[in-house]
Chains A and B, each alone.
Chain A
Amino acid sequence: MSLDEQLENQIAEWRGYMRRRRAVNETDVEELEDHLRSTVADLTDSGLRPDEAFLVAVKRMGSLDDLSREFARVHSDRLWKQLVLSGDGQAHSHRASRMDLLVMVGCAALAAIGIKLPELFGLGFDEGAGFYQRNISLFALVPLAAYFAIRRRLSAVFAGVVAALFVLGAVAANVYPLKDTSQSMVLTAIHLPLALWLAMGVAYVGGDWRSGRRRMDFIRFTGEWFVYYVLIALGGGVLTGITFGVFGAIGLDIEEFMASWVMPCGALAAVVVAAWLVEAKQSVIENMAPVLTRVFTPLFAVALLAFLGALLWTGNLINTDREVLILFDLLLVVVLGLVLYSISARDPLARPGAFDWLQLALVFSALIIDALVLGVITGRISEWGTTPNKAAALGENVILLANLAWTTFLLSEFVRNRRPFAPLERWQTGYLAVYAGWAWVVVLLFPPIFGYM
C-alpha cells in the first residue's frame, strides 16, 4: 500500500468517525476535511511522512468530543432529538428507553381510565355532553403533562406552576355558570386546549421556557405530534371499522362497546402515545413534516393569491357570515402553522432561496386577507354591538395581524439579504407567549365580562 493510499484510508476512517456525530453535518465534515488535508499538506512539505502528518493534524484538530460539543452548542437544532432523549451512551439508552416505555404506558393508561371516571359518578357521555366538551382538554393533557414532567424530571417549582395552570383551567371550565349552548362555552372549549397545550409546553421544555431554542423544539414537537396523532387516528379508524364489520358478520353488535369504551379511551391514550412516538422515533418523521410544508406552502400561496385576485377582479365584498369569518380565521391559523413549521425545520444558515420568496408571498397575501377580515369584523361589531364570539374573533385577528405584519417585514429583509434568519425565529418563538396570554384571557376573563353569555 502506498503512503498516499494509506493516508486516504486514514482520512476516510476519520471522516467516518466525524459523520457519526449527530451535531456535525455533511458539509461541516467536508469543511473540516479540507482543513485536515491542508494541515497534512503543509506538514509533509516541511518534511513529515504522511502518516506522521496525519497524526499531528488530527491532534491539532482537537478531540471529537470537544468538537462535536462545540458544534452542538452552535447547531442545537440538529441535536434536538438527542437533547430530548435522555441518556447519552448506548448502554444507558437501552435501559432509559425501557423506562420511558413504562412511563408512557402508565400515562396512557391514566388517560384511558381518566376519561371513564366521571361515569362512575353518573356522568355518561350522553348526559354530560357539555361537561365533556368543556373538560376534554383536561382529560387529554393532564396525562401528557405528567408524562413530560416525569420524563424531564421537572423541578418541584415548575411542576407546581404547570399543576397550578391546569387547576386554573379546570376552575374556569367548571366553576363559571356556562350554559351548554352559550357562546362562552364554545369559546372555552376552543381556547382551553390551546392554553393547556402551552402550559404542557412548560413541562415539555423541562421548565426552560425562556429559551428560544427550547421553544422552537416545542413548536417542532407540536407539529410532529399532530402528524403522528392523525396517523394513529386514521389507523384506529380502519381498525374500528374492520372490527365492527367482522363482529357484525357473526351477528354481534358491538357498536355500544366501541363508542363508549374503545374509541374514547383509545383517542385519549393516543395523545400520550403520539408524544412518545415523536420522542422515540424522531428521525422517521423528521423528514416528513418539512416535506409536507414544502408541498403545501406553494399550494396555499397560489390559492391565496388566486383568492385575492378574484376579490380584486370581481370587487365582491367578503361575506360577513359568522361561519365565513371563522373559516378565514382557520385559514390564517393554517398559514401561520405552515410558516411556523417551515421555520422550525429550516437550516438557519441556508441562504434565502426561491422557497423563501414563496413564503413571503404566502405571508403577505395572508396579511392582506387578515386586514380585510379585520375590517369586516370591526364593521360587524360597530353595527351590531359586540358578543363574546365577535370579541374573540377580533382579538385573534389583531394578534395574527401583528404576527403576520412583522413576519412579512422580517422575511422581506431576509430574502433581500439584509438580515439573517435568526430574528424571524426569535420573533415566532417569542410570540408563543402572546398566544398563551390571549387563550387565558378568553378562558378566564371573557365569561365574566360578557355575563356568561
Chain B
Amino acid sequence: MHVTKDLVAASATPLVLGILAQGDNYGYAIIKEVNELSGGALEWTDGLLYPLLHRLERLGHVESTWDGPPGGRRRKYYRITEQGRAELAEQRRQWDAVVSALKGVWHATGHLSPREA
C-alpha cells in the first residue's frame, strides 16, 4: 500500500512530536520508528525529516542538543518541549475529529466496499 504525499505531509508533524513525546531521539531512529509504526506504508523521503525538525525547533516545539562520545561522531538529539506537548495534544484532538468522521463514513458505506475485480 502507498499513502499519498498529502497524507504523509499532514501526518508528519504529529508523528514526529508523538515519537519525541516517548523520549529524546535522533533523526534516523525517528524515521525507523515511523516505518515500524506504519508497517512501511508511510514512505518518507529520509532527508525531508530534517527541515521538518528544524521548523519544529524554530517554532519552539522541540529543542536539540549535540551529543556523542568524545572523539567520536556527534549526533543531534531532539527533545519535545512543553509547548510541543501542547501542540501534540491539539493535533491529536484534530486528528481524532477527522478519524471519527471517517469512521462514521466507513460505517455508513460499509456495504459499498470496493468489489474485487
Contact = CB atoms under 8 A, between A and B. Distances in A.
Given A30-B74, A70-B48, A39 B28 contact: yes
B38 to A, nearest CB: 15
Chain A interface SS verdict (over half): helix
Interface string A346-382: 0011000000000000000000000000000000000
B58 A39 contact: no
B54 A75 contact: yes
Contacts of A420: 57-60
Interface string A30-68: 111011011100000000000000000000111000110
Contacts, number: 69
B66 to A, nearest CB: 8
Given A74-B58, A420-B58, A31 B27 contact: yes
B76 A39 contact: no
Interface size class of A (residues with CB under 8 A): 20 to 34
Interface string B36-47: 000000000111
B31 to A, nearest CB: 8
A203 to B, nearest CB: 29
Nearest to B28: A38
A105 B41 CA distance: 58
Contact of A35 (B46, B54, B60): B46
Contacts of B28: 34-35, 38-39
6 contacts: A28-B54, A38-B28, A39-B46, A62-B46, A62-B47, A73-B51
Interface of B: 26-28, 31, 45-48, 50-52, 54-55, 57-60, 64, 66, 73-76
Given A35-B27, A39-B28, A349-B58, 14 more contacts: A27-B66, A31-B76, A32-B50, A35-B31, A35-B47, A61-B45, A61-B46, A61-B47, A62-B47, A70-B48, A71-B51, A420-B57, A420-B58, A422-B58
